[in-house]
Amino acid sequence: MTATLTAQATTDRPAPAPRQLRWLLRLHRPALLSGAAIVLLTGAALLWLGGPLTDASAAAWKQYNACGFTPSCAYDQSSILRYKDVYTYTTTAVLVVPFLVAAWAGGSLTGRETESGTVRLAWTQSVSPARWLASRLAFPAVLTAAATGLLVWLHRLAWTAADGRVDTAKPWYDFATFYANGTVPVALALAGLAVGVLTGLLLRRSMAALATAAAVLGALWAAVHTALPHLWPAVTATSSLEDGPTGSGIPVGEGVLTADGDRVAAPCHSGMMDGCRSTLADLDATGFYRDFHPADHYWPLHLVASGVLLLVAALAALAAFRLLRHRTGKTTG
């Protein structure tokens, strides 16, 4: 009797975390190897971009600027074009990573396991549904945050190395550069992981969950991008009618100020032109205004947007646990 009770207690005891981790690594080894390859290749390209490519492009721009208007002056155009191409490719790669995470989480991490019935096998081996789901969120979240954070850091180093040295380097407020240099891709990748896990549990079909998770994450990013200029108070720059709107950064809105203090959409942008001058006079305009985010709003915008994405990730994870509990009943404990 004692031996029977001991055996039953051993069977009912949740599997230790290392055992679940080994199972997770074995089951998703191809995806982990592919992800590691993507991170290593992109990271190597970013190191190349921020080092030799930036130096070569900066030297080529010095040659070009020294040429002036001399048509026969030679400069290394290929280095300039190579820098531009590699920057575009690596920036795109950094921004695509969250979508790869979402697609993998939906299509393989939960979608394929629920579709094939692998999850039921795991639950019969002393792994409760809640512990199974936690393992599908915790360890991948650590890897996702580390890998995405590394790529963002390397991208920012590469961009900083070229800032002020390469004439065609993207400004900080270029939206692709803005996102790839900050915390938003990390938060977006974590949101993609949670959304993908939830989608896989909901649809229980790997290909459908893969496509749906990527599409949902795209819609989420579009919503955050649309709301971004309004997540932090903008500053206002005013200027004369002759100067036109001024202020460099992420635009929020612009127009003309009237003598009554009203804001009106600008019909034109230069009081130096006769046609524009008369139109502005009819509006009783006194100057231009522009609402925008300057460079010192960079991190506040990123942190607030990242906070929104992390909240979505937390809500998606909570919804996944509730859905699993609803489907499995008391076995989630």
Same domain, 124 and 141: yes
CB 111 within 8 A of CB 204: yes
Same domain, 215 and 265: no
> d(Cα 323, Cα 198) in Å, to the nearest integer?
8
Is 7 within a domain?
no
Is 164 within a domain?
yes
Q: Domain containing 202: what range?
A: 29-230+305-332
Same domain, 124 and 175: yes
Q: Mind listing the pLDDT tens digit for each residue in 57-86?
A: 999 999 888 887 777 778 888 999 999 999
CB 99 within 8 A of CB 217: yes
Is 243 within a domain?
yes
Is 271 within a domain?
yes
> d(Cα 326, Cα 311) in Å, to the nearest integer?
22
pLDDT for the residue numbered 176: 96
Question: Token pair of 243, please?
Answer: 């100067």
Same domain, 142 and 170: yes
Residue with tokens 């206002």: 236
Residue 247 vs residue 16, higher pLDDT = 247
Q: Mind listing the pLDDT tens digit for each residue in 151-207?
A: 999 999 999 999 989 999 999 999 999 999 999 999 999 999 999 999 988 988 889
Same domain, 126 and 33: yes
Same domain, 277 and 325: no
Same domain, 156 and 45: yes
Is 22 within a domain?
no
> d(Cα 255, Cα 267) in Å, to the nearest integer?
8
> d(Cα 12, Cα 272) in Å, to the nearest integer?
82
> d(Cα 209, Cα 197) in Å, to the nearest integer?
9
Model confidence, pTM = 0.86
Query: Rounded to the nearest 5 degrees, what angle is found at the Cα of 293, between the Cα atoms of 314 and 306?
Result: 10
Same domain, 133 and 242: no
- Reply yes or no on whether the pLDDT at 7 is more than 60: no
Same domain, 42 and 168: yes
Is 258 within a domain?
yes
User: Phi and psi dihedrals of 237, rounded to 5?
Assistant: -110, 130
- Shortest CA distance to 190 belongs to which of 306, 305, 37, 320? 306
List 290's β-bridge partners, or say none. Answer: 237, 254
